[in-house]
Amino acid sequence: MSVLLVFQGAINKPYRTAPIDEQTMKVTVGHVASPIFVDLKTSKYIKELQGDAIKSGWVIGNPLIDLTGGSPGAAYILGATAPGSPWILGGYSGSTKFAKTALGYADRSSLDNAWLLIAPEGRRQLSLSVLTDLDLLFPENYIYVGKFTNPTRRETQKLYRPKSENDFLDLMLHD
């Protein structure tokens, strides 16, 4: 009987996600466009994140540095590679040090070509000093792509792409 109650509780109130019966929206995520079912709010987040990224030149396999500190799924949603570590957990006393160390092991090209996902008001947001320590000039060398509300964390996240040579040429020609 108690096993049944635990199972029923897990279905009706799963940890950090909508109840199973609300996960009716089909979306595709990852390198191989795997279909999954999510709730309406999560579907909106996924579609907006993917849509804005693709409109701004996103290609499956691009590197993504996720400094939100609490959204490891974003890299999977986009089919990204994650330089240094698949999840850089924020909100703990050693989080910034871990981020700097993990990203320090990434190759320079991955860092220079990485898109950034941040949550400026997020309670687990990692310090942007991580980027400075890696000689990544933010926001100077990045272009704002869009903002999204993560329904699980109830925070606004912002996506940036690295400026390309064409962006720098356009800037010089139009100044």
Tens of pLDDT, residue by residue over 49-93, are: 999 999 999 999 999 999 999 887 999 999 999 999 988 999 999
**Mean pLDDT, residues 129-157:** 95
State the pairing for strand pair 115-118/25-29. unpaired
- The structure's pTM equals 0.85
What H or E segment, with its residue span, contains residue 4? helix 2-12
Q: From the CB of residue 93, how many other CB atoms can be counted at a distance below 10 Å?
A: 6
Token duo for residue 30: 């990852």
